[in-house]
Amino acid sequence: MLNYYSRQMVAHPILLEARQISSNQILMTYDKPTDLTSATNVSNYWIRSNMGPVGIASVGMKEALTAENAIRPDMGMIAPVDNSKMRFVIAFRTNAMQGVMYTVLPCFVNLEGMSGFMGENWGPNSKNMFIGM
């Protein structure tokens, strides 16, 4: 089992920013080029909300992140914005609820050319929270 220290030693991309760009889309920017397979796997993402798992959110504030409450393919999809392998859009089938606080929580996203990262892809400087508009 990986502990906090060993996870920090494995090189991995960090989510720099997640921001809502339309009623059902979130633009995500990583700090380094990612492995496209892991970065576009919707099951590697969770959206937490202060209202529980409603709308685009898959998990509430106090729930642990599990495979069962990750974003499902029937909820939305992820696509690269450009060829940088650092910018992606999540497009949901439903709209974000206005005034609800959301937090984007990616896990298991690998650096380009790598595989096997098993931790979180956000850090203390990640701007991964937004208020639904």
Domains and CATH numbers, the chain: 4-121 (2.60.40.1220)
pLDDT at 4 over 60: no
Task: Give residue 2's pLDDT.
Answer: 46
Query: For the chain, where are the E strands, in sequence order?
Result: 15-22, 25-30, 45-49, 59-60, 76-80, 87-92, 101-106, 129-131
Mean predicted lDDT score pLDDT of the chain: 93
Q: What is the pTM of this model?
A: 0.91
Q: What is the pLDDT of residues 64-84, one digit of tens each?
A: 999 999 999 999 999 999 999
Task: Give residue 3's pLDDT.
Answer: 47
